[in-house]
Structure formats: C-alpha cells, structure tokens
Amino acid sequence: MAQAFFGGVHPNDMKAATNEKAIEQLAPPAEVVIPMSMHFGAPCTPLVKAGDLVKVGQKIGEFRGLGAPIHASVSGKVKAVEPRPYSMGGNMMSVVIENDFQDTVSEEVQAPADPNALSVEEMIEIVKQAGIVGMGGATFPTHVKISGGIGKVDNVLINGAECEPYITGDHRTMLERPEEIIGGCKYLAKMFGVDKVTIGVEDNKQNGIDAMNKVIAEQNAPVEVVPLHCRYPQGGEKQLCQALTGKQVPPGGLPSNIGCAVFNINTTCAIYRAITTGMPVVNKIVTVSGSGVVEPKNLECPIGTPVSCLFDACGGLKDGTYKLVAGGPMMGMAQYTAEVPVGKGTGAMLAFCENEEQTVENPQCIRCGKCVAACPVHLEPLFMYQYAEKGMVDELNEAHIMDCMECGACAYACPARMHLTQMFKTGKQLVKDKAAADKAAAEAKKAAEEKKEA
Amino acid sequence: MNDYKNLKLIATSNPHIRSSETTRSIMLDVIIAMLPALAFACFNFGFRALTLTAVSVIGCMFFEWAYRKVMKKPQSVGDLSCVVTGMLLALTCPVQMPYWMILIGDFFAIILAKQLFGGIGKNFINPALVGRAMLVASYAGTMTSWADPAGPKAALFGATPDLITTATPLAMMKGGNFDALLATYDVPAMFLGQIPGSVGEVSAVALLLGGIYLLWRKVINWQIPVAYIATVAVLSFLFPKAGTGLEWMLYSIFGGGLFLGAFFMATDYATSPVTKKGQLIFGIGCGLFTVLIRYFGSYNEGVCYSIMVMNLLVALIDKYTKPTRFGVVKSDKKEAAAK
C-alpha cells in the first residue's frame, strides 16, 4: 500500500450517510444561474443576452487567457445576464436561463465519427471546447494542464482519494460508472503518450477499487489502481504525487515539475464523455449531506442549479441550520445565502445545524505543537499565527506562509480552537500587499531617478 | 419547504469541523494521569497528601481567578491548567509542610510564572517548578526534610510531633552511603515507591502508569520522557559512584523525581519545543543537566533545576529544529548550503 505523507489529520469521514446511495438525477430546476467564473483564471465573457433562446450544450461564455468556456446546462430562454451571488463569495456576472423542460440538445454538440482515430491535438481541442476544469474543486482548466504537460509528464495520476469527510460523489462514480473512468484514463494515456495510468484511492472505498479493477481486467486497460492510507489531505495534488511516486513537488512548483499530472475522477469521466459524445460539462454530481440535511443524497444536477433546489430534493433543512458549506468541511467555503448555484467545482453542499467546530470565545495557543505535526507542508502554524497577528511580514515570508495551502489540518487538530487557517489567509494577503507596495515603490524610485537624469 | 431567504447563516473560514480534543480535555487527561501517583501518596504518607494537594489546587484556582478578575481579562479557570499546576506543585513538596506554605508556592507559580507573562501558553518556564524553586529557596529546612513512610503518618491538621524524617535515597547516594541504601530499600521497594521523598515522586510504577496513559491518549509524545530517562540511565550506568553500574542506574532513575519530571514537568506544552526533533534534544538536555547537578552540584536532586534550565533554551531549540518544508529534499538543501 502506498505510504502516507508526513503530517495530516484523520477526521471522522462521515461518508456512511451517502456512500451506499446511488447517484440520483435531480428533477429539472425551473431556472438555472450559470456564473461566468467556474474556473481558475479570469471570468468568461457572456455570449448571450436576455431574451435569447439557448439549447443544452450551447456555448454561452467564452474565456480569455487562462480559462475554459461555459455552456448552457438546460434549454430555454435567457431571462437575465446580471451579477448574482456565487459560491466563491460575492457576486459574479451570471446567465440566468428559464428552463423550457425540453432538454433540446444544441447543434454544437457533435460526437466525433471515430473517437479512437482522433489525433492528440484534436482531443485536446475537444477537451478545451467542452469547458473541462478540475472537478475536485481547484477548477484548473484541464486543456492547459494537458497541453502544458505533454513531453514533461511520465506519471499520469488519477485522484480518487476523496479525503474530505462527507463527500461520496467520486466513490459513487467508481461504483456506477467505472467504464467512463477507465475510458477517460485510456484517452489520457494516449494524449500523454504513457504506458500506464495510476488511480490512487483511499482504502475506505474498497468496493470502488474492485469495481474499477473489474473493468480494467475486462478491457485489459493500461490502468493500475493503488489503495492509499486514509489520511487528510491525501487528495491534495502534491500529497497524492508523493504517495504514488515518492517524489515531492518543489515549493511554489507544480506536479509537472516532477513529471506528474493529476486529474480528478470526475474530470476523467468528463474527458471520456466529451471525446465519445461531444457533450461539454453541463452536469455535476453533488453530495448533499451534513447534520442539517434531513435525508442526505448524491444528486446529479445541471450546472447552475440553485442549491436550495438540492436541499428541497433532500427533504429540506432542519431547524437551526446555521452554516451552508460549498465543498468539503475541511476546505469548503461557507455561504451567506442559499441562492448560490452549483458550479463546476461544487462537489458537495453541506448544511450544519450543530456547532461542529466547538468554537471557544477566547482561544489561547497552548504551544502543544499538534499543528506542526499536522501540517502536510511541514510549516509551523503556531509561529505563523503570531507573525500574522502582529503583521510581521518579513517573518511570515521566512516562515514560508506562501507555501500554506489552507487545507485546514492545523486548525482541525488545534485543541485550543485557534483560527489558524483564517489568520493565514489574512497573512498571505499582508505578504502580497507588501510585495505589491515594494514593487510600486521601486518603480516610482526608478522613474524619479530617470527623470532626474533626463 | 424551507424559507431559504430567512436562514440565519454564518460564514467563517474553513475548516468547518474540529477534532474533539480541547485544551480542557487535555488538562483533564493530565489530571487523570496524576491520580495513581496521588493514590499511592495517600497509601505511603497518609491522607495529608490528599488534603495538601486539594489546598494547592484551590490556591492555584483562586490566584488564577483573582488575577484575571483584577486585571479585567477573560476568565481561564475553566481550561483546568491551573488545577494541573496546583496538583504538580503539591506532588513535589514534602507531605508534612504547612498548608499556608504551599499557598505561597501557588502564588509564585500562578501569578509570577504564568499570569504576568500572559497566562496559559505564554509562560516560558514551568509554573509548578517555579513555585517549588521559590519554596526551596525560602524554606530550605521544611522543603528538605522527608517523612519516613515506615513511621507514623503526618496528621491532617497542625504539626506531627512524632513524625520521623529521614534521608532520601538520593541523599544517601550523594553522601556516599550507597551500601546502607542497598540494605535499607531493595529494588522492588524503589520501583513501587515505599521510600521517603516528596508526595508524588516516590512511586515510579504509579508515575509510569500515568505516563503510559498520557502517551496512549496522545497528550504527550514519547520523545521527551524517553530521551530524558534514557539519558540519565545511560550516564549513571556508565559512571557509577558506588556499587555496580546496573544497581547505581536503577537507584538513580527510581529514586528522586525523575519519572515525575520526565512525564509531567518536562512535557509541559508551553515550556517544551514544538517539533519532535526539538523534544528529543530537550529530553537529552534535561537528562544531562540532571546528572551533572546530582554528581557535581550542591543539591541531591537535579530534576527541578535541569528542566528549568532547559525551559530557557526552548526558543533556541525551536529556532534550530524547524521542519524542512514540503518539496525541499536533501540534495536541494546541500546545494543551497554550497551556495
């Protein structure tokens, strides 16, 4: 079994609530709100205006620079193009579509005549046009990862760790759609020109491993499934690379620096669907769970479905629900409204009605060092907290705060309930602000000197 | 269905779940771990061991509460750390000492060593040891006379006129009476703790039981206690002043406060290094200073002062035992050093 990395924590996985429930199709929502930013990079430009008729799979947002296009997830009439709340916080320009419940598929969606005859360039173009991004939550555009990695990458890794508590979407996909995963792996192997693709799965999903192994044996596919220790954040890209290859991504680097490329299970499925059917990313599997949900479920819904529709399909929220989280409980973002829509990276919608954090009023660090032992990046959170609290920017840099990936392991482990992750977000901003100010000051000085000389 | 517009939601930073361990639960575990030693103390020295501990705990809780009240700071008695300090201080004192005296120790421990530096986690030196060191300096006579467990038990109130005081094993070792010590107490008696000494230090087996509980509950790491006891054991085995190396070693580690210090004092979070590597160095340093004081110092026992000296070095140890950040492998480090 692949060894775990140094550090990390072992939260109760809470997956029993949904891991035996098959993925259900959500009853089509009356309206979808599709935000123009569901990827890492600048927001898309809307291609439609209010009153337009759109069909499923039609491109409605075009990207500039780093990004991925966005498609209509239902057919119907565009009701508005306006800023709406979205899951990353604040408002984002969104296309609001009134569903006509016809599910008319756009002419733009064309299945290739022979998917196996496609060249590498053609496949990458299909992935790009399908708007595929990292579905695990990081939402990095997949076509950029593939085209940037070809030639450098000799280890293609599929991330099936699913180490966040509660989330079971990837697990259910392994059980219900293993052919799509293995099919996607085969296309990825072809694109990167590698002989083997490795799927890493935490060993609490043994039946998922078995289901994929069965398909691998049937198809004689060049894919290997490796069980991993259960330990958060095993599904962190860099931790997964270390567990599967033994190599560490250098600070500030990417997996491609050590010849790795990592794709999420559902990203792999999306690649398979795009190449075989031409259908872009229009649906998302969301685990709806947590102590505030009456009947937790795995739901597949159109992108842009308001999360309130998901909760309604799960029997509603219990009284006293005080927190909604888009994503897992360790790294997900708390929402201030239930109006936010499902995005490409929303793997879970959690509702909590108990104080699961057991916060205290006046947290005091007791220097127990449990955060140091928990940090998967090998930093010293307790000292970083002190520096950030006092605004000591140089010390923050020396403590390598920019390496922090905000995984929340330190704060999870902290018996004193310090708000570590929150303070590091503040601290990182301090470092960025200082760097920007220094740069501006240096440029101003340079400009002044040039003026003097002139 | 729900009225989603009127949900009362809070939006805080991740993570949204926390482990079940809290400062209070950790302190409670430490208290539980001290109970075997306290129970043995009652058996060995009589119930004054219990009342002395109770007075000390109440004293520490009062000083903590009063300081926070006077200084208008949020109350912190609920985290139970002051209870731990009170218990630890009592465990390091002789059983027959007057109750008012231990309250003076409590005052120095809580006010001087802990609260003046900002309270829990901010003190750089172990409060219970500061309390003990102040008492030894102020009341040297009382603090160095030890009741003989074979004699009459100390009275619950007032002085005990017929109390027999006797030399501790470490005093006999220091005084060159090792043969007499071997004749008075055999190794099982030393391990079990039927020997003179402070309230909580005598029984190695009871302290070991508590230490194993703390290790099992993951309250402490093995590095400090193991490094500490092993260092003392190895040094005393190699350099016996009398008898065989093994005899000298066994009496060195079972006599005196080594187990109490190694499991309960040196492992204090606020005053020990945060990395495992640092904790190993800290433990070895404690062992080294303990042996040096026992061999060459004027005191019989060196546990208290060796831990206090190492407490002062924690910041330095932390500075030089920082973990290597993720992604920097050994060859990179060498290259960086070469530049």
For B126-181, the pLDDT digits (tens) are 999 999 999 999 999 999 999 999 888 888 888 888 888 899 999 999 998 999 99
* pLDDT, tens only, A169-183: 999 999 999 999 999
Residue A6 has what pLDDT? 77
Q: What is the mean pLDDT of chain B?
A: 93
For residue A406, which residues of chain B lie inside 8 Å, CB to CB? 14
* pLDDT, tens only, B200-217: 999 999 999 999 999 999
Rounded Cα distance between A218 and A234, Å, is 29
ipTM of the complex: 0.91
Q: Quick one: pLDDT band at residue A361, thresholds 50, 70, 90?
A: confident
Containing H/E element for B81?
helix B81-91
Which of B269, B326, B335 would you mutate first to test chain A, the one with the most A CBs within 10 A?
B326
Flag the least confident range among A117-121, A227-231, B4-8, B179-183: B4-8
Interface of B with A in 242-261 (CB under 8 A): none
Q: In what order do the strands lie in the sheet with A59-62?
A: A45-46, A59-62, A70-71
Residue B330 has what pLDDT? 67
Rg (CA), chain A: 23
Q: Chain A contact for B311, CB < 8 A?
A: no
State the pairing for strand pair A45-46/A24-25: unpaired
In a domain, B14, yes or no: no
Q: Do B329 and A248 touch (CB under 8 A)?
A: yes
Higher pLDDT, B329 or A368: A368
Q: Do A358 and B22 touch (CB under 8 A)?
A: yes
Q: Could you give the dihedral angle defined by the CA atoms of residues A230, A232, A235 and A238, in that order, rounded to the nearest 10 degrees?
A: -120
For residue B4, which residues of chain A lie inside 8 Å, CB to CB? 308, 311, 337-339
Range(s) of the domain holding residue B74: 23-320
The b-or-e profile of A112-121 (16+ CB within 10 A means b, else e) is: beebeebeee
For the record, the structure tokens of A165 come out as 């508590």
Q: Quick one: pLDDT band at residue A3, thresholds 50, 70, 90?
A: low
Asked if pLDDT for residue B220 goes beyond 60, the answer is yes
Q: Chain B contact for A358, CB < 8 A?
A: yes
Q: Do B74 and A362 touch (CB under 8 A)?
A: yes
> What total number of domains does chain B contain?
1
Interface of B with A in 111-140 (CB under 8 A): 119-122
* pLDDT, tens only, A266-321: 999 999 999 999 999 999 999 999 999 999 999 999 999 999 999 999 999 998 89
* pLDDT, tens only, A72-107: 999 999 999 999 999 988 899 999 999 999 999 999
Backbone angles phi, psi at B105, to 5 degrees: -60, -40
B8 burial via Cβ count (<10 Å: 0-12, 13-18, 19+): exposed
Asked if pLDDT for residue A13 goes beyond 70, the answer is yes
Q: Do A403 and B326 touch (CB under 8 A)?
A: yes
Angle between helices A120-129 and A178-192 (to 10 degrees): 130
Instruction: Parse chain A into domains and list their residue ranges.
Output: 15-277, 283-352, 370-453
Asked if pLDDT for residue A136 goes beyond 90, the answer is no
Rounded Cα distance between A199 and A263, Å, is 9
Give the closest-approach CA distance of A333 to chain B in angstroms. 7
Rounded Cα distance between B265 and A162, Å, is 41
Q: What is the mean pLDDT of chain A?
A: 93
Residue B333 has what pLDDT? 65
In a domain, B1, yes or no: no
Interface of B with A in 269-288 (CB under 8 A): 269-270, 272-276
- Scanning every residue of chain A, which has its alpha carbon at the shortest distance from the alpha carbon of B17? A357
Q: Which domain CATH number covers B237? A: 1.10.3430
In a domain, B156, yes or no: yes
Asked if pLDDT for residue B339 goes beyond 70, the answer is no
Q: Do B18 and A412 touch (CB under 8 A)?
A: yes
Give the closest-approach CA distance of B95 to chain A in angstroms. 31
Residue B240 has what pLDDT? 94
Q: Chain A contact for B10, CB < 8 A?
A: yes
* pLDDT, tens only, A399-452: 999 999 999 999 999 999 999 999 999 999 999 999 999 999 999 999 998 888
Flag the least confident range among A349-353, A377-381, A414-418, B324-328: B324-328
DSSP 3-state percent helix, strand, coil across chain B (nearest 5): 65, 0, 35
Residue B162 has what pLDDT? 84
- Comparing CB atoms, the residue among A312, A335, A416 nearest residue B11 is A335
Interface of A with B in 264-293 (CB under 8 A): none
Q: Report domain A15-277's class.
A: alpha beta
- Hey, what amino acid is at A38? M
Residue B255 has what pLDDT? 87
For residue A336, which residues of chain B lie inside 8 Å, CB to CB? 9, 11
Angle between helices A169-176 and A178-192 (to 10 degrees): 90
* pLDDT, tens only, B221-278: 999 999 999 999 999 999 999 999 999 999 999 989 999 999 999 999 999 999 999 9
Q: Chain B contact for A317, CB < 8 A?
A: yes
pLDDT over 90 percentage in chain A: 87
Containing H/E element for B127?
helix B127-138
Asked if pLDDT for residue A226 goes beyond 90, the answer is yes
Asked if pLDDT for residue B1 goes beyond 60, the answer is no
CATH number of the A283-352 domain: 3.10.20.600
Q: Can you name the residues that pair with A320 across neighbouring β-strands?
A: none
Higher pLDDT, A309 or A453: A309
Q: Quick one: pLDDT band at residue A1, thresholds 50, 70, 90?
A: very low
Q: What is the DSSP letter of B270?
A: G
Higher pLDDT, B63 or A360: B63
Residue B163 has what pLDDT? 86
Residue A5 has what pLDDT? 66
